[in-house]
């Protein structure tokens, strides 16, 4: 099967994005994975299961259909896809606005998740990025698409692109894989800063209308997007 | 527009100084920015908005006037300047002694800021560098020069070159951009050490006359300044 | 003495695995060591004592017999083997299923060990990897095989491949040295996340039948093992 | 002045050892310094004041006499020596067994110092390296040899090679500069692990006779010293 240039380019990007996970302290060893939707198709790319981040290559990214099955004979199909593939697929099927999904066990966020406690929005960086608290999805086991269902159901009531999975870790979504990785980085940053703040007292809340104003500005004005070169 | 050698050299320095922010753990992803005044002019350079630290180049630094507008046709003017530009400009206009401004969301300092709590001066390194506590400026939203006003008003009553912005992060000033980056590094270092000290008990205060003596010695004797080659 | 290709290859692997210890924040200076059993033999390789991680080479790994003595005249025999050699040997003698042993003083795990407190299994990553809590072995001094005895006796009642040694640090075992290093990395990750969770409240337990299901799935399905190319 | 080969070699070593301080997270920016005695002489080398760790070279290390004055016309004499030079000199004059001195503001150790609280010996790694608690020296200001006096007086009653200076930071001594740097690394490691242990409860003490046995073994048996190739 010959791949389109789009798929080839996405393989490169997805491989490079995986390197951001250990670089930003979000994963250890083989934990964590990123998926990227192939635009205008029913396919996506995802990390192979259980490989070291050092050993990932563009060619080892596994091409899957939105039903979670590997595309037979495709590049990377000699590897098993991430054990979270069914849940990535579920999210991509049910959220057409989502172009990428990230999963990590980043330590501060997972600590909140272990207590089943949402991260309160007490810093402007969280308001910018998530528009409020980062919510917690209910506990489930791993290996089928139930995590995907919980992600979709939990994010439905929130502006947040990040969800804490009870006793487990973090999933984030984005308009593309890079945006989802950014959300994973910013989620851990928020989890850490609010953790530190809470250790020595109680953070002062930000009033809801300020959270709204911060979120609106950041989503619509920040960066180089107005010029289309984000 | 042909730039002077001064501006070209400052672009190189400012780009290199931005690399100190992730290196010292002060920022993640695209957060944080540094500005540098062009000596004997009404202009300064500042980070473009929303770019990754990896992608910054000397040429992408945006040249602005002290009123916060981009110099038309200048190198880097294809980028939007940092969304904090108006506040950097405000500080540079109202503090002629300041040659550089830094903004970060460094985690320990931002944790103090989330509690609206100044960092008490209980270690000699803080006395050396800041001459007392690091104060907190009141809450405001982002995008106009109100942060700049709060920085100037808060630092007016302090020897500190760093200010915590309530629920937000840190701004530091310096005689040049490098000095402001140093202040940002030392602010996070102080925020972390005092945080750690407070976690297991109450730090012992340093008597005010000792703080004065430490600050005076460090500002006037330390380093290679006596020989003009700092 | 000419070495077999197997031993030569294991020297390379063992030297490379030692680099994972500082890279993952598990050791400082010369602390920590890894051993690797030579398959189908009564020998194993282990780190030389007191050398910096930077200075380790494949040739400096010390070849020992399972009684803990250095193989005379072998490559690396000019170095003293790790001061923990007798305990590594004890574990390899009494646990034929174990192909590698790792020792570290990784900070979060050692903090639990200083309180003689097992790490409770409150995150799915721990259930996956260790199948339950990480237990504590009783205190002993260093230099003979008594640590080895405690490792074997403590792990006998657990699915965990990691044991906290009271007031001391961590030992992990694995089917080979790489697997034991993975266990050391995951042990510190679990120790840190559960530490963070506990700092701000009480983590929610995972029900035992869920722990069992997670452990079973991870040990039998995860990764590329089904295809034999792990 | 032509330098002996011994001095030239020590310059290289001392410059390389300074790189271990930021690498091990013991210093930020220009804080921290190491000195190395020139054997069989009344001289030592020390870091120049206020230079970045990146900018240090063997040639910029400043050659001083044991009275704390710079050797006129020597290599590096265009730089001011560390502002802690008088205290390094005091220690080297009064402790002929000491060949190197290190000063840092490493964060966990400095947190203990801010509370004027010695680090209790509750992990075997501390017993090995320091033979008991790490003591606190009384507060003083900076710039004369009073810190040196406090170091010598505090360490007199301890096996520890590290001393916490009240509200300030850490000084360590060693038989040479490398040994003192090792002590600085191990001191911060101990400060961190015991800090973490104390955050969630009370560490279990190690009985004094076990501390003695651990210290004795480590000082006399560990490493490659018996063969003279440490």
Residue D124 counted as domain residue: yes
Q: What is the mean pLDDT of residues A176-195?
A: 98
Residue B229 counted as domain residue: no
Residue C196 counted as domain residue: yes
Report the complex ipTM: 0.94
Chain C residue numbers with beta carbons less than 8 Å from the beta carbon of A117 are 200-201
Nearest CB neighbour to C196, from listed A49, A108, A142: A108
Query: Which two structure tokens, joined as six digits, stand for B100?
Result: 């550089």
CB A178 within 8 A of CB A100: yes
Helix, coil or strand: residue B177 = helix
Residue D228 counted as domain residue: no
Nearest CB neighbour to D50, from listed B123, B201, B224: B224
D218 part of the active site: no
Residue A228 counted as domain residue: no
Q: Is C208 exposed, middle or buried (0-12, 13-18, 19+ CB in 10 A)?
A: exposed
The CA–CA distances, whole Å, from C30 to B4, C34, C54, D19 equal: 52, 12, 9, 17
pLDDT given at position B30:
84
Angle, in degrees to the nearest 10, between helices C107-114 and D177-199: 60
pLDDT given at position A71:
97
What's the pLDDT band for A1 if we cut at 50, 70, 90? low
What's the pLDDT band for B143 if we cut at 50, 70, 90? confident
CB atoms within 10 A of CB B97: 7
pLDDT given at position D1:
56
Contact C139 D202 (CB under 8 A): no
Contact A115 C202 (CB under 8 A): yes
Q: Which chains form contacts with chain C, at 3 or more CB pairs under 8 Å?
A: A, D
d(CA A7, CA A14): 10
Query: Which two structure tokens, joined as six digits, stand for A42?
Result: 């029913």
What tens digit of pLDDT does each residue of B71-127 get? 999 999 999 999 999 999 999 999 999 999 999 999 999 999 999 999 999 999 999
Contact B50 A202 (CB under 8 A): no
- Checking if the pLDDT of A182 tops 50, the result is yes
| Structural domains in chain B (count) | 1
pLDDT given at position D147:
97
Query: Which two structure tokens, joined as six digits, stand for C110?
Result: 């050692």
Q: What is the CATH number of the domain that holds A138?
A: 3.40.225.10
Residue D229 counted as domain residue: no
CB D198 within 8 A of CB C196: no
Contact A204 B169 (CB under 8 A): no
Please give the model's pTM, rounded to 2 decimal places: 0.95
What's the pLDDT band for A224 if we cut at 50, 70, 90? low
Chain B residue numbers with beta carbons less than 8 Å from the beta carbon of D112 are 197
Lowest mean pLDDT among B116-120, B168-172, C28-32, D107-111: C28-32
The strand pair at A136-137 and A162-165 is best described as: parallel
Chain D residue numbers with beta carbons less than 8 Å from the beta carbon of B20 are none
- Checking if the pLDDT of D229 tops 70, the result is no
Helix, coil or strand: residue D137 = strand
Which structural domain, as residue segments, surrounds residue A74? 5-223
Contact C125 A166 (CB under 8 A): no
B128 part of the active site: yes
Sequence-distant (≥ 6) Cβ neighbours of residue A70 within 8 angstroms = A62, A63, A64, A77, A81
Within an 8 Å CB–CB cutoff, is residue C48 touching chain D?
Answer: yes
Closest residue in chain B to residue A211, using alpha carbons only? B141
- Checking if the pLDDT of A58 tops 80, the result is yes
Secondary structure (H, E, C), chain C: CCCCHHHHHHHHHHHHHHHHHHHCCCCCCCCCEEEEECCCCCEEEECECCCCHHHCCHHHCEEEECCCCECCCCCCCCCCECCCHHHHHHHHHHCCCCCEEEEECCHHHHHHHHCCCCECCCCHHHHHHHCCCECEECCCCCCCCHHHHHHHHHHCCCCCCEEEECCCEEEEEECCHHHHHHHHHHHHHHHHHHHHHHHCCCCCCCCHHHHHHHHHHHHHCCCCHHHCCC
- Checking if the pLDDT of D230 tops 50, the result is no
Within an 8 Å CB–CB cutoff, is residue C200 touching chain A?
Answer: yes
DSSP single-letter state for residue B167: T
Angle at D19 between CA D14 and CA D25, to 5 degrees: 130
Residue B228 counted as domain residue: no
What's the pLDDT band for B227 if we cut at 50, 70, 90? very low
Residue D181 counted as domain residue: yes
Chain A residue numbers with beta carbons less than 8 Å from the beta carbon of B30 are 223
Contact A80 C224 (CB under 8 A): yes
What tens digit of pLDDT does each residue of B198-212 get? 999 999 999 999 999
pLDDT given at position C227:
34
pLDDT given at position B108:
98
Within an 8 Å CB–CB cutoff, is residue C210 touching chain D?
Answer: no
DSSP single-letter state for residue A34: E
CB B88 within 8 A of CB B172: no
What tens digit of pLDDT does each residue of D149-183 get? 999 999 998 999 999 999 999 999 999 999 999 99
Q: Which 119-178 residues of chain D touch chain B by CB within 8 A?
A: 139, 141-143, 166-169
Sequence-distant (≥ 6) Cβ neighbours of residue A27 within 8 angstroms = A21, A53, A104, A105, A106
d(CA D188, CA D170): 9
d(CA D121, CA D204): 10
d(CA A151, CA A131): 17
CB C26 within 8 A of CB C108: no
- Checking if the pLDDT of C228 tops 60, the result is no
Of C67, C144, C216, C222, which is the active-site residue?
Answer: C222
CB D213 within 8 A of CB C141: yes
Contact D107 B189 (CB under 8 A): yes
Query: Which two structure tokens, joined as six digits, stand for B216?
Result: 């005076």
d(CA D161, CA C102): 29
pLDDT given at position D202:
97
- Checking if the pLDDT of D141 tops 90, the result is no
pLDDT given at position B1:
56
CB B132 within 8 A of CB B121: yes
DSSP single-letter state for residue D206: P
CB D78 within 8 A of CB D112: no
Q: What is the mean pLDDT of residues C201-216?
A: 96
């Amino acid at each position: 099967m010959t791949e389109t240039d789009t798929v080839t380019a996405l393989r490169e990007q997805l491989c490079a994005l995986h390197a951001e996970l250990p670089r930003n302290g979000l994963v250890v060893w083989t934990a964590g994975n990123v998926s990227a939707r192939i635009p205008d198709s029913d396919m996506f790319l995802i990390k192979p299961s259980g490989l070291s981040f050092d050993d990932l290559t563009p060619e080892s990214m596994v091409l899957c259909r939105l039903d979670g099955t590997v595309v037979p004979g495709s590049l990377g199909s000699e590897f098993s896809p991430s054990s979270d593939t069914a849940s990535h697929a579920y999210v991509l099927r049910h959220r057409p606005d989502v172009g990428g999904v990230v999963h990590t066990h980043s330590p501060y966020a997972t600590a909140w998740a272990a207590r089943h406690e949402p991260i309160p929005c007490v810093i402007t960086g969280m308001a910018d990025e998530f528009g409020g608290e980062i919510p917690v999805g209910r506990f489930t086991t791993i290996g089928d698409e139930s995590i995907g269902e919980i992600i979709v159901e939990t994010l439905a009531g929130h502006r947040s692109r990040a969800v804490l999975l009870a006793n487990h870790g973090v999933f984030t979504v984005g308009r593309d894989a890079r945006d989802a990785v950014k959300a994973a980085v910013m989620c851990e940053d928020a989890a850490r800063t609010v953790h530190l703040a809470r250790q020595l007292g109680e953070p002062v809340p930000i009033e809801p209308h300020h959270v709204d104003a911060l979120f609106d500005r950041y989503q619509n004005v920040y960066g180089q997007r107005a010029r289309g070169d984000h």
